[in-house]
Structure 1
Amino acid sequence: MHPCRVLFICTGNSARSILSEATLNHLGQGRFEAFSAGSQPAGRVNPYALEALAGAGISCEGLASKSWDQFVGDLAPPLDIVITVCDNAASEPCPVLFGNFVRTHWGLRDPAAVTGTPDAISAAFQRAHALITYRLTALLRLPVETMTPQALKLALDGIGTMSNDDD
Structure 2
Amino acid sequence: MGQKVWNVLVLCTGNSARSIMGEALINVLGQGRFKAYSAGSQPMGRVNPFAVEQAQTIGYDTSTVRSKSWDEFSQPDAIPMDIVITVCDSAAGESCPLWRGRPIKVHWGFADPSHIDGSDDDKRAAFAITFAQIRKKVEALMQLPIDSLTTEQLKAGLQAIGDAEV
- Normalised by the length of structure 2, the TM-score is 0.91
Q: For 1:93 and 1:8, how far apart are their aligned partners in 2?
A: 10
Task: Indicate the residue corresponding to 1:84 in structure 2.
Answer: 86
Q: For 2:76 and 2:91, how far apart are their aligned partners in 1?
A: 27
Task: Indicate the residue corresponding to 1:44 in structure 2.
Answer: 46
Q: CA deviation at 1:93?
A: 4.6
Q: For 2:73 and 2:58, how far apart are their aligned partners in 1?
A: 28
Q: For 1:84 and 1:97, how far apart are their aligned partners in 2?
A: 13
Contact kept, 8 Å, 1:102 with 1:153, in 2: the verdict is yes
Unaligned runs of 5+ in 1: none
Question: Given residue 30 of structure 2, which amino acid in structure 1 is its aligned partner?
Answer: G
- Picking from 27, 37, 40, the partner of 2:29 is 27
SS, match of residue 160 in structure 1: helix
Question: Given residue 98 of structure 2, which amino acid in structure 1 is its aligned partner?
Answer: F
User: Percent sequence identity over matched residues?
Assistant: 45
Task: Indicate the residue corresponding to 2:110 in structure 1.
Answer: 108
1:144-163 to 2 correspondence within 5 Å?
A: 144-163=146-165
Contact kept, 8 Å, 2:26 with 2:34, in 1: the verdict is yes
Q: Summarize deviations over 1:43-99 as a string: whole Å, max 9, x none.
A: 01100101112233332131110000111121010100000000x3xxx35342434
Q: CA deviation at 1:18?
A: 0.3
- Normalised by the length of structure 1, the TM-score is 0.90
Contact kept, 8 Å, 1:131 with 1:163, in 2: the verdict is no
Aligned length: 160
Task: Indicate the residue corresponding to 2:98 in structure 1.
Answer: 98
In terms of fraction of residues, the more helix-rich structure is 2
